[in-house]
Amino acid sequence: MNQREGSLEDPQADFSVSFLPHLEAKIRQTHNLARLLTKYAEQLLEEYVQQQGDPFGLPGFSPPRLALAGLSGPAPSHAGLPLSERLRLDAAALAALPALLDAVRRRQAELNPRAPRLLRSLEDAARQARALGAAVETVLAALGAAARGPGSEPAAAAAATTATSLSPGSSAAGVFSAKVLGLHVCGLYGEWVSRTEGDLSQLVPGGVS
C-alpha cells in the first residue's frame, strides 16, 4: 500500500499530501460544490416547510421520524471511520437522493402546484446531488479507493419505498404523511451534503480556506 492509500485508510492521518495538480483541482472543485450545496440545502428545507402549511413551521412542531429503506442519516460513528469509507458512504447516499427528491417533487406538484420555485428547487437538488455524487466517485477512483459494491440497489429500494409513501390517497392522513416524508428527504439531503463537505475538507491540500 502506498503512502497516499495508507493516508486514506487511516482516520487520524495527516492529509496534507502533495496531490497531482489535476487531482488537487478536482478535490477543491468537489469540496466547493459540496459547500455550495450545503447552503442550497438549507434554503430548500426552509422553502419546503413554508409551503406545507400548518402545523409545519409552527414553534414546537416535531414531525414523526419516518423510516426510509436504503437511506438514513449519517450515523454518529461516521466520523470515526477511515476517510475512504466515509467518502464511499457519502457517494452511496448521494446516489440514492436524486430518485427520492424526484419523488418528493412529483408529490409536491400535486399538493402545491402554485409553488413553482419549490418544484424547481427540488429538481435542482436532485440534479446537484447526482453531480456531487459523481464527483466524489471520481475523487475516490483517482485516489485508488473506488466505491465498492453495487450502489444502485439501495437507491432503487429507497426510491421505490418513497414513491409508494408519497403517492397515497387524498385522505388528510395520507397527505400529512407524504408531507412529513418529503420533509425527511429534504433533511437527509442537507445532512449528507454537509457530511460530504466535511469529509472532503480533510483532503483539500493546505486545509479549508
* Position 105 pLDDT exceeds 50: yes
Per DSSP, 98 falls in state H
- Say if residue 22's pLDDT is above 90: no
Q: Residue 103: which pLDDT band, with cuts at 50, 70 and 90?
A: very high
Checking if the pLDDT of 161 tops 80, the result is no
Given a cut of 60, whether residue 156 has pLDDT beyond it is no
Say if residue 90's pLDDT is above 60.
yes
For the record, the C-alpha cell of 156 comes out as 432503487
Q: pLDDT per residue over 182-201, tens digit each?
A: 999 999 999 999 999 999 99
pLDDT at position 4 over 70: no
Q: What is the pLDDT of residue 12?
A: 40
Average pLDDT over residues 80-105: 94
pLDDT of 186 reads 96
Contact 132, 33 (CB under 8 A): yes
Question: Stretch 14-37: mean pLDDT, rounded?
Answer: 80
Give residue 104's pLDDT: 94
State the chain's mean pLDDT as an integer: 83
